[in-house]
Structure 1
Amino acid sequence: MKNILSLVIASIAVLTLTACEPKRGSDAWCKKMDETPKGDWSFKDAGDYTKYCVLNQKPEDN
């Protein structure tokens, strides 16, 4: 029973933390990337930053 409770609590924590991430390409995401050191960006981050934050293209809704 204790293991099941621990698993449920851990799952809720993971879901809560991942839900706080702004949507890639949104204004909040662009602001977050502005505050992130460029050395910590991936190639995808750099490409998407250019596409959405510099060229102001709208992110596709999936």
Structure 2
Amino acid sequence: MKKVGLLLACCALLTACAPEVGSKGWCEDMKEKPKGDWTANEASDFAKHCVFTSNED
């Protein structure tokens, strides 16, 4: 049972370090990731946040 807790703690730490979906860092990371490894959600989010962005600042 201790191993499961340790595994969950490690996963939480690793995901906390990932850039927020739609951020500039996330878009850059996705550009480096092979397209074949993208999930459907990642492809949709990439199109929404990185391709079809609004220039209204």
TM-score class, shorter:
0.7 to 0.9
The reply to whether residue 29 of structure 1 matches residue 31 of structure 2 is no
Structure 2, unmatched stretches of 5+, are none
* Cα RMSD for the two superposed structures: 1.8
Name 1:15's counterpart in structure 2. Answer: 12
Structure 1, unmatched stretches of 5+, are 58-62
The verdict on how the C-alpha distance between 1:7 and 1:40 changes in structure 2, with shifts beyond 3 A counting, is closer
Q: TM-score normalised to the size of structure 1?
A: 0.68
Inter-partner Cα distance in structure 2 for 1:46 and 1:22 = 16
Q: TM-score normalised to the size of structure 2?
A: 0.73
The CA deviation at 1:29 is 0.5
Inter-partner Cα distance in structure 2 for 1:38 and 1:7 = 32
